[in-house]
Amino acid sequence: MSGIKAKILSLSTDFSRAELRVAKYVAEHTDRVPFLSVHSLADAAQVSVASVSRFVKKTGFSNYKDFKVGLAREAGANVHGMYRAITPRDTDEDIVRKVFRGYELSIEDTLSMLDLPALIEVSEALNACRRVIFFGIGGSGIVAQDAALRFSHLDVQAESYSDPLSIIIQVKRLKPGDAAFGISHSGRTKVTCEALQVAKNNGVFTCGISNYLRSPLSRHTRYLFCTAFPEDRVKVAALSSRIAQLCVIDALYLLAARHRKNVWDTEDLNRLTEQLLRLR
């Protein structure tokens, strides 16, 4: 999937009905749209020209011409790397290749949409926080646990929670100078959104990760990082989004580590860990 199509997917909850019809047509006729006039696209999608213009601006382009050029460029760049969903006709080898190709494209698309200056700002903010809580439900909770472990390596007071009651209790204990980091593929997980709202109302630094740019999660975060993994690539959304989420977390961790003034002696930590985990 191209960066433009990934962004369209991430904005799907923010589109009007008419704009969704445009989005559907563009997704199904990517190779044809660059050759259509704005009036032709409006007719094909059965919407007004004004709806097409609003759709184009929401996707980040100033006009329809720029949108067509961008779509054509990405279509050309990806013509040899197209990915199709798993079908009953696929062989075992096909499924394995598609899984790996799906993850590869997910990482590429996520990077294309990533706000790098914002990523740097968040890494600096997390470095300065007294306490950082990562939280999420299900697969996102596993990512939260991994994130907390990474930042703990930097001697940051980092914790993770995946139980709804624990999430709410711990978030309510946060104070200004702390951070709440919510992770939700859909961006609609109720406890994750409400916990971020509580944290934001209490003056806590809030940020999160979602697969949808205009999801409810975005309303309660100061910074939101958007991953890109459409559910129809591989029918396991809980697994599919995790790789891109971890890439965002790893980037934040390495940026924070680079500028961290007080970092543990990692070699000493590695020696201690090896002594505890390995039998002699």
Q: What pLDDT is stored for residue 240 in this prediction?
A: 59
d(CA 13, CA 5) in angstroms, rounded, equals 14
Contact 182, 125 (CB under 8 A): no
DSSP string, 136-189: -STHHHHHHHHHHHHHHTTT--EEEE-SHHHHHHHHHT--BTBEEEEE-SSS--
What percent of the chain clears pLDDT 70, i.e. is strictly above it?
83
Q: Are residues 239 and 144 in the same domain?
A: yes
DSSP string, 82-126: ------TT--HHHHHHHHHHHHHHHHHHHHHH--HHHHHHHHHHH
Q: What pLDDT is stored for residue 5 in this prediction?
A: 76
* pTM attached to this predicted model: 0.70
In a domain, 264, yes or no: no
Other CB atoms within 10 Å distance of the CB of residue 116: 10
Across 177-193, average pLDDT: 95
- In this structure, of 19-23, 113-117, 192-196, the range with the lowest mean pLDDT score is 113-117
In a domain, 105, yes or no: no
- In this structure, of 35-39, 171-175, 247-251, the range with the lowest mean pLDDT score is 35-39
d(CA 155, CA 273) in angstroms, rounded, equals 15
Q: Are residues 70 and 158 in the same domain?
A: no
Q: Are residues 77 and 117 in the same domain?
A: no
Task: Share the mean pLDDT of the chain.
Answer: 84
d(CA 112, CA 115) in angstroms, rounded, equals 9
In a domain, 152, yes or no: yes
Report which of 46, 39, 45, 64 is spatially closest to residue 54, judged by C-alpha positions. Answer: 64
Retrieve residue 58's tokens. 């929401």
DSSP state of 232: T
H/E segment holding residue 135: strand 132-135
pLDDT tens digits for 197-211?
999 999 999 999 998
Across 136-147, average pLDDT: 94
The yes-or-no verdict on residue 279 having pLDDT over 90 is: no
Across 256-269, average pLDDT: 71
Domain count along the chain: 2
Query: Band of the pLDDT at 233, cuts 50, 70, 90?
Result: very low
Angle CA(139)–CA(115)–CA(75) in degrees, nearest 5? 85
Q: Are residues 141 and 56 in the same domain?
A: no
pLDDT tens digits for 99-119?
887 788 778 778 877 889 999
Q: What pLDDT is stored for residue 2 in this prediction?
A: 55
Length of the chain: 280
In a domain, 252, yes or no: yes
Other CB atoms within 10 Å distance of the CB of residue 18: 18
Query: Band of the pLDDT at 273, cuts 50, 70, 90?
Result: low
pLDDT tens digits for 158-170?
999 999 999 999 9
Query: Band of the pLDDT at 232, cuts 50, 70, 90?
Result: very low
Measured in degrees and rounded to the nearest 5, phi and psi for residue 215 equal -75, 165
Residue 150: give its domain's CATH number: 3.40.50.10490
Question: Dihedral sign, CA of 224, 228, 232, 233?
Answer: negative
Across 126-135, average pLDDT: 95
d(CA 211, CA 110) in angstroms, rounded, equals 9
Residue 44: give its domain's CATH number: 1.10.10.10
In a domain, 276, yes or no: no
Q: Are residues 62 and 129 in the same domain?
A: no
pLDDT tens digits for 27-81?
888 778 877 888 989 999 999 999 999 999 988 888 888 888 777 666 654 443 4
pLDDT tens digits for 143-154?
999 999 999 988
What's the domain range around 66? 3-82
> Under DSSP, is residue 207 helix (H, G, I), strand (E, B) or coil?
strand
Q: Are residues 52 and 187 in the same domain?
A: no
In a domain, 100, yes or no: no
d(CA 237, CA 230) in angstroms, rounded, equals 8
Query: Band of the pLDDT at 272, cuts 50, 70, 90?
Result: low
